[in-house]
Amino acid sequence: MWLTQSAGPKSLGKPNLTIYAPEHDPAAADMTLPECPLGAELLVTGLRLPAADAFRLNEMGIRLGTVAHVTQHAAFGGRVIAVAGSRYALDGGTAALIDVEPVTTLR
């Protein structure tokens, strides 16, 4: 697990931390969650959220390496994703800070 300082604008008074997997290639052109089409299978590769929020995502089951499916596009960039049978609703701002890769590119 790597933790790096982020220059992201959404600090909300706390340091932004980007969490990447060790095998992550920073030069690779990741997608963000809102960019994924409906029904896409994806792999979570980065969480560019404020530290406490990223940690809560981890605790709820959305972690690096988590495989998810986009099940719904909602208003204002909101997304619903399926992870291990559960459905998670994420607002547009949060979804935009989650980096993903289509699973097919890893196989």
Partner 1 sequence: MSCHGSDSASTLVRNAGGLPDALRVLLVGGPNVGKSTLFNALTGARQHTTNAPGTTVELATGTWRTAPAGTMHSASASEVEPGSDLVHERMIVDLPGSYSLLARSSDEQVTADAVRELARSLGEPGDQQGVVVVVLDATALARSLYLLAQVAETGVPLVVALTMLDLAATATDSPTAAMQPQTLAAALGASLGVPVVPVDARNRVAGGMSELARAVDEIAAHPRTVTGIALPTSSCGCGTADASEGSAADRPVVGSVAADLERELAHAEVLFGWVEQVVEQVTTRCAPEPVAGGRAGAGRPGHRRTFSDRVDTVLLNPWAGTPVFLAVVWLLFELTTRFAAPLQGFIGQLVDGPLASGVTWLLSLVGLGDSWLQGLLVDGLLVGVGTVLTFLPVMAIMFTALGVLEDSGYLARAAFVADRAMRSLGLDGRALLPLIVGFGCNLPALAATRILPQARQRLLTGLLVPLTSCSARLTVYVLLASAFFPAHAGTVIFAMYLASVLLVLGGGLVLRRTAFRDVRAEPLILVLPPYQRPHLRTLGMSVRLRVGSFVMRAGKIIVLTMCVVWALMAVPASGEHAIGDVPVADSVYTAVASGIAPALVPAGFGNDHAAAALMTGFVAKEVVVGSFAQSYSVADPGDAAGGGGLGEQLRASFDDSSGGHGGAAALAFMVFVLAYTPCVAALAEQRRLFGWRPTVSALGVQLLAAWALAVLVFQVGSRL
Q: Is 24 in the site for partner 1 (CB under 8 A)?
A: no
# residues contacting partner 1 (CB under 8 A): 48
CA angle 25, 15, 74 (to 5 degrees): 70
In the complex, the smallest distance separating the C-beta of residue 51 from partner 1, rounded to whole angstroms, is 4
Q: How far apart are CA 14 and CA 46, in angstroms?
A: 18
Q: Computed over its alpha carbons, how large is the radius of gyration of the chain?
A: 13
Candidate residues 75, 102, 106, 107; the one interacting with partner 1 per rule CB under 8 A: 75
Q: Is 12 in the site for partner 1 (CB under 8 A)?
A: yes
Here the tokens at position 4 are: 């790096």
Here the tokens at position 54 are: 């990223």
By the 8 A CB rule, do 95 and 32 touch? yes
Q: Is 106 in the site for partner 1 (CB under 8 A)?
A: no
Residues interacting with partner 1, by CB under 8 A? 1, 3, 12, 14-15, 17, 19, 41, 49-63, 65-69, 71-76, 78, 80, 82-91, 93-94
